[in-house]
Structure 1
Amino acid sequence: MATLSSWFDSEGDTLDQGLSLYFPAPHSYTGEHTVELQGHGGPVLLRALLERLFALGCRPAEPGEFTRRAVENGKMDLAQAEAVAACIDAATVRAGKQAQRQLQGAFGEHIEQLMQRLTSLVAHVEASLDFPEEEIPALFFEHLAEEMQQQLILPIQAMLDSAPLGERLFDGATVAIIGAPNVGKSSLLNALSGRDRAIVSNIPGTTRDVLEVDFEVHGIPVRLADTAGLRVSEDVIEQEGVRRAEQTAAQADATIFVADATNPDTWICRFDADIYLMNKVDLQHDGFPGHFITVSAASGEGLQDLKDCLASCLGDIEMADESMIVTRERHRQSLADALLCIETGMSTLHVEEQLEITAMQWRHAWSALGGILGIGDVEYILDRIFSEFCIGK
């Protein structure tokens, strides 16, 4: 319910006028009775309104307090709560859409389905333990193992395989461009980023320091680093530039080695690069090694192939359902723990005397999956998650 309201200071003078919105429980973000005040938004008026509210007994919310209360009141699970922060932090449209999928509960639904399947399979083992006098046919164990493989192991492994992509959607990646002087590294940086960011010159050694620019590839935020040309030099400043180039390449998530199609002396790379790129193919079309991707930074030829290859190097994979992408290290670790427990339980499945171990391991797997959603004793998880939130939300 929205009501046009006036808000007054302690002397009865009007501070501001705006909307008061009342959300009766449980129909609010937190699931509690909530009143939201919408004023005109100026910093002076907002500060005066807040000071009046504090004088009347209100207090500022702790980091993530509203979302934490929503979790505690059953309005969302932990995975959805983490998605709130992901929505705020998303740097690309793809990352934002992924965060929205998790906020709407799609990821949590997948985890719940895995837990339900696991519960069903554990029940079969528990039933076998309850009736030890019954002879259990070998076919029963084979069927159980196959069900576990198809319904749990393969889906969990697919989710784990998506983790490098999911984490980089939000954490981003650093890509270093390396190569000899004057091979077109700066031109490539400008072409990929779509901005005239780096100085381009025919004079070798123009780039002396590391120059960085942000762009995205397949929705993955990328910090692209243009480095000094790698060569032996007597110039002290250029020597420092080469040192920084090598350091940047060593620390980057991926490296692009650039060579000049017209200069064979630049084709040999002293590093193990992730992508080998032959630039200036508009000037020379053939005669170079086949493991190079061919591009022309000047004309744009081959740039899309380069972007596709770079996205693949950064973990981009085809998934039938992107709502299953793992975006948090906490989720990845819980899934890995669950998978380990499942596989450990599988190793004792065919030994009747050790079925209790199988059941115990699979119960541990259920708890690991439940921790993703906040099922069980997760107070320490709550403290860790909401300490990363911005104030209030």
Structure 2
Amino acid sequence: MSNKAVPSGSTIAAIATPPGRGGVGIIRISGPDAISVISSLSTRKCNPEPRVATLDVWRDSNGQVLDQGIVLFFPGPASYTGEDVVELQGHGSTVLLHALLARLFELGCVPAQPGEFTRRAVENGKMDLSQAEAVVACIDAATVRACLQAQRQLQGAFGRHINELMVRLTSLVAHVEATLDFPEEEIPDLYFSDLRDKMLLQVVEPVRVMLASAPLGERLFHGATVAIIGAPNAGKSSLLNALSGRDRAIVSHIEGTTRDTLEVDFEVHGIPLRLVDTAGLRETDDLIEQEGVRRARETASNADVTLFVADATRPHTWDESVHADIFLMNKTDLQHGDVPEKYLQISVAAGIGLESLRTKLATYLGDMAMGDEGMMVTRERHRVILTEALEYIESGLLSLSDEEMLDVTAMQWRRAWALLGSILGIGDVDHILDRIFSEFCIGK
């Protein structure tokens, strides 16, 4: 299916609820003919009062009843898309919903593309592009913390912050261009020093702070992979079960029980993680176990975080040469001898040290206090744009001290301004719109 938007003057329709059986199914309609289409679908000439639920009966072209339910009318421009919007809330039968949708197409509606309703909201000035991206983030968020961050952006806080940076940048560019307009005037060095200080304080530092939040921000929505490695029978499978809160992996005193990788999803401090248990690392003649060890090493090399588990009762498992991010000494309740300082002491069986491990894991992933999160960068697109904009700004700062290079400074800063604008959907961003809205589901 094409991701190109349908013509703006058309009336679009789509099912807005997920596929499957449910108590209620919703069809959304947006466009200039929304009310006339509903009047043709209805038993009577439907003229619902704005934002008032109205019971109605919907019929096919032969007058047969398809379904009955609630009609909600949101007149433009005070609607989600900025156009006349109608929602039909009927029974959640896939067959009924598709029959209603087919009837709407007969009456002149056209199928909505993925993200078409939200795209029209952006084009009609109901939200900026960063808010539109927050819509799909709200839908896809896997944890409450991710939902809260997406809601901040959906309410426009992120967009307002970017807009403020653009306003500051505009003011500073204007100062440079004013200097270019009067080349015969002698400009004191103090003027350029003040301009540089303002740029650093008002634009550069805020952008750097935002970029510093990107590792955690992106992980809130894309998660991270955590691999557990170590010698056989060190407690790797027990650790997976304990952290995930599920009896997912087989636990046995027999070495080599785990032959393949085993994955389970869980979260730590609101960060979604995929925990991977692996085969014990050891030399073996068993061909199947050899393959398990190979997969264990491959999983560890591709993981965002690697946990190495050693057995406190078996010093030969304390491998100091292994590459890992966090070292764990399990079964410390059974052995109280000296343990290398690099190891976090835990006991999965006794429940010792597991909360410390969760905190250490979250910290390693860049966790911060939720009250300090502020305007987090949660999308790769935003991170790439901010990084490039910062490069242009800093490049402009380098040429600021040379009056003969002021035109270069102004050009670099204007490029940075245009890049920041592309986050909000300002400028020639049709190619960006097509890419972004291809990620949406139909009906949103």
TM norm structure 2: 0.86
1:67 aligned partner: 118
The CA deviation string for residues 217-266 of structure 1, in whole angstroms up to 9 with x for no partner, is 11111110000000001111111111110111111111001111111111
Counterpart CA distance in 2 for 1:140 and 1:120 is 14
1:342 aligned partner: 393
* Deviation at residue 59 of structure 1 after TM alignment: 2.4
2:161 counterpart of 1:90: no
* Deviation at residue 285 of structure 1 after TM alignment: 3.0
**CA RMSD of the aligned region, Å?**
1.4
2:358 counterpart of 1:298: no
Counterpart CA distance in 2 for 1:134 and 1:17 is 76
- Describe the SS at the equivalent of 1:223: strand
The CA deviation string for residues 70-122 of structure 1, in whole angstroms up to 9 with x for no partner, is 11101111111111111111111111111111111111011011111111111
1:356 to 399, 407, 417: 407
* Deviation at residue 46 of structure 1 after TM alignment: 1.8
Counterpart CA distance in 2 for 1:11 and 1:134 is 82
1:31 aligned partner: 82
Counterpart CA distance in 1 for 2:251 and 2:400 is 65
Counterpart CA distance in 2 for 1:196 and 1:274 is 25
* Deviation at residue 355 of structure 1 after TM alignment: 1.0
1:330 to 381, 405, 410: 381
Counterpart CA distance in 2 for 1:348 and 1:321 is 35
Counterpart CA distance in 2 for 1:386 and 1:321 is 30
Which runs of at least 4 in structure 1 moved beyond 4 Å after TM superposition?
318-321
Q: Which sits farther off after the overlay, 219-228 or 4-13?
A: 4-13
- The alpha-carbon distance between structure 1 residues 289 and 187, as it changes in their structure 2 partners (threshold 3 A), is same
* Deviation at residue 137 of structure 1 after TM alignment: 1.4
2:349 counterpart of 1:274: no
- Counting matched residue pairs gives 393
Q: Which sits farther off after the overlay, 225-234 or 1-10?
A: 1-10
The percent of aligned pairs where both chains have the same amino acid is 70
Counterpart CA distance in 2 for 1:219 and 1:112 is 29
- The alpha-carbon distance between structure 1 residues 135 and 319, as it changes in their structure 2 partners (threshold 3 A), is farther
- Describe the SS at the equivalent of 1:229: coil
- Describe the SS at the equivalent of 1:324: coil
Paired amino acid for 1:133: E
Paired amino acid for 1:346: L
* Deviation at residue 134 of structure 1 after TM alignment: 1.9
Counterpart CA distance in 1 for 2:359 and 2:163 is 34
* Deviation at residue 43 of structure 1 after TM alignment: 2.4
1:231 aligned partner: 282
Counterpart CA distance in 1 for 2:332 and 2:56 is 68
* Deviation at residue 391 of structure 1 after TM alignment: 1.6
Paired amino acid for 2:77: P
**Alignment gaps of 5+ in structure 2:** 1-49
Q: Which sits farther off after the overlay, 206-215 or 280-289?
A: 280-289
2:76 counterpart of 1:20: no
Paired amino acid for 1:201: S
Paired amino acid for 1:127: A
Paired amino acid for 1:155: P
- Describe the SS at the equivalent of 1:6: strand
**Alignment gaps of 5+ in structure 1:** none
Counterpart CA distance in 1 for 2:371 and 2:181 is 40
2:432 counterpart of 1:381: yes
2:308 counterpart of 1:250: no
2:54 aligned partner: 3
